[in-house]
Amino acid sequence: MSEAGFHGVFPYLVSPVTPTGEIDAEVLARLCDDLIGAGVHGLTPLGSTGEFAYLSRAQRRRVVEVVLQATRGRVPVVAGVASTTIDDAVAQARDYERLGCSGILAVLEAYFPIDDDGVYAYFKAIADAVSLPVVLYTNPNFQRSDLSLPVIDRLSRIDNIQYIKDASFNTGRLLSIVNRVEGRMQVFAASAHVPVCVMMIGGVGWMAGPACVAPRQSVELYELCRRGDWAAAMQRQRPLWRLNQAFAKYNLAACIKGGLALQGYAVGVPLPPQAPGRSAARADRHRRALTQTPARPSRPGHRSRSVDRPAGLVVRRRRACIARRPHSLMRIRIAPTSRTSIAHTDRVDRARCSIFAEPANQATPANRLSEYAPRQRTDLPCAPGRGRIPGRPPACRGPVRPAAARCAPPPAKCPAHAPAATRPPR
């Protein structure tokens, strides 16, 4: 810790728990020692990666004790305090101060929504209860009651609320916070994929779980940002983004614990009811990310979104149709050996849907899509006046006709099916 206060890389520590419910002190202490040896600037137990929401009060306290013993004053320890009540949060903060923590990471848990005055009262009570620097933690993705800009502005005027860790992934919001607090509060990034951006707008570092599995790379990135070497910093940032991509697909604690397990730390699995997520495929993804293997490139010229099916099928949907009719629904029958595509969709109860099938190993040229125009029923009478769409003939009910009959001319008895030349444009 320097004269400027907290700065740099603060890994969010995992909480290794044995099958009997005890904190594995040996593994946690070794992880702390190795992270300090890698050059991190501080440690944060009981963050999101530390699964604070799944630990008992005694387990949380034991985690903090082990981290403080392993650290031995070499780097600051900022312990997480989280609760649904002010009294419990204040008790936790005072306990961690007595144990010897350097700061408090304040997290608000809520079952019912809380208004701005309640949010302000919660964090102010924690700050008033201790003499330590307080780091506000806001994560709109998981918290039911978020910190609004007016509340952040009010809290920044409390002397020992000196930092905020915003996990919204929104750099515009971060810049708004920086402008609003006017230097009264410093900003930490909350993820491994935006630290360069945060440092460019005035941030002082980041607190993130992925720094547990890539501490040296994170420290190197921070030093490059401090020197203002942004080109080199972006080169270092890209491998960390690949790591973050692997973690973003699954439970964060499961991914960090899985990555540490690959590095030889027996940190166990996430606490139930979280899914352990130990699969060969996921382990392989983690291993590739940790070794900085380039991500698999997309196919040249591939623009449509495809979803692989067990039978080898690909369903491709034209986004233009979906964007044009956001409330439309689609019903597709998939054959085991074909590729099914939608060329047009409408409301299901007035459906005029064009579906064609072709062998899965054949591609459909873009210039042939116009051949699959919307089809209409010709074996049922029209229902004039029902389901009219401006500029279109009355809709016809019934299922889609077979592909072989889609080019058959409509019968003359139906006035709505005028020749193409006389039909109004779509």
Q: Looking at the structure, do residues 21 and 133 belong to the same domain, yes or no?
A: yes
Q: Looking at the structure, do residues 327 and 275 belong to the same domain, yes or no?
A: no
Q: Which domain holds residue 182?
A: 8-290
In this predicted structure, the answer to whether residue 40 has a pLDDT above a threshold of 60 is yes
> How high is the mean pLDDT of the chain?
74
Q: Looking at the structure, do residues 256 and 339 belong to the same domain, yes or no?
A: no
Q: Looking at the structure, do residues 272 and 352 belong to the same domain, yes or no?
A: no
Q: Looking at the structure, do residues 284 and 328 belong to the same domain, yes or no?
A: no
Q: Looking at the structure, do residues 172 and 320 belong to the same domain, yes or no?
A: no
- Position 175 in a domain: yes
Closest to 111 in 3D by CA, of 137, 147, 85: 85
Which residues lie across from 43 on neighbouring strands? 77
Whichever domain contains 104, its CATH number is: 3.20.20.70
Q: Roughly what angle, to the nearest 10 degrees, separates helices 57-71 and 25-37? A: 40
Phi then psi for 93, rounded to 5 degrees?
Answer: -60, -45
82 neighbors 47 (Cβ within 8 angstroms): no
Express each pLDDT in 312-354 by its tens digit.
333 334 333 433 344 434 333 333 433 333 333 333 333 333 3
- Position 301 in a domain: no
For residue 14 the two structure tokens come to 């995992």
Q: Looking at the structure, do residues 21 and 55 belong to the same domain, yes or no?
A: yes
Helix (H) or strand (E) holding 137: strand 134-138
The Cβ of residue 24 has, within 10 Å, a number of other Cβ atoms equal to: 18
Choose between 119 and 322: higher pLDDT: 119
- Position 305 in a domain: no
In this predicted structure, the answer to whether residue 236 has a pLDDT above a threshold of 70 is yes
- Position 178 in a domain: yes
- Point out the residues that are catalytic: 137, 165
Q: Looking at the structure, do residues 196 and 60 belong to the same domain, yes or no?
A: yes
Q: Looking at the structure, do residues 251 and 397 belong to the same domain, yes or no?
A: no
Length of the chain as a residue count: 426
In this predicted structure, the answer to whether residue 62 has a pLDDT above a threshold of 90 is yes
Question: Whole-prediction pTM value?
Answer: 0.65
How far, rounded to the nearest angstrom, does the alpha carbon of residue 393 sit from its chain's CA centroid?
Answer: 45
Q: Looking at the structure, do residues 103 and 227 belong to the same domain, yes or no?
A: yes
**Amino acid 107: pLDDT:** 94
Q: Looking at the structure, do residues 223 and 364 belong to the same domain, yes or no?
A: no
Express each pLDDT in 124-171 by its tens digit.
999 999 999 999 998 777 676 788 999 999 999 999 999 999 887 778
Closest to 55 in 3D by CA, of 24, 99, 10, 100: 24
- Position 307 in a domain: no
180 neighbors 152 (Cβ within 8 angstroms): yes
Phi then psi for 32, rounded to 5 degrees?
Answer: -60, -45
Is 385 in a helix, a strand, or coil? coil
In this predicted structure, the answer to whether residue 101 has a pLDDT above a threshold of 90 is yes
Express each pLDDT in 174-216 by its tens digit.
889 999 999 999 999 876 667 898 899 899 999 988 899 999 9
- Mean pLDDT of the region 397-403: 51
Q: Looking at the structure, do residues 320 and 286 belong to the same domain, yes or no?
A: no
DSSP notation for 10-77:
EEBPP--B-TTS-B-HHHHHHHHHHHHHTT-S-BB-SSTTTTGGGS-HHHHHHHHHHHHHHHTTSS-B
In this predicted structure, the answer to whether residue 60 has a pLDDT above a threshold of 80 is yes
Distance CA 410, CA 418 (A): 8
Residue with tokens 């099914």: 340
- Position 45 in a domain: yes
- Position 410 in a domain: no
Q: How many domains are contained in the chain?
A: 2
- Position 209 in a domain: yes
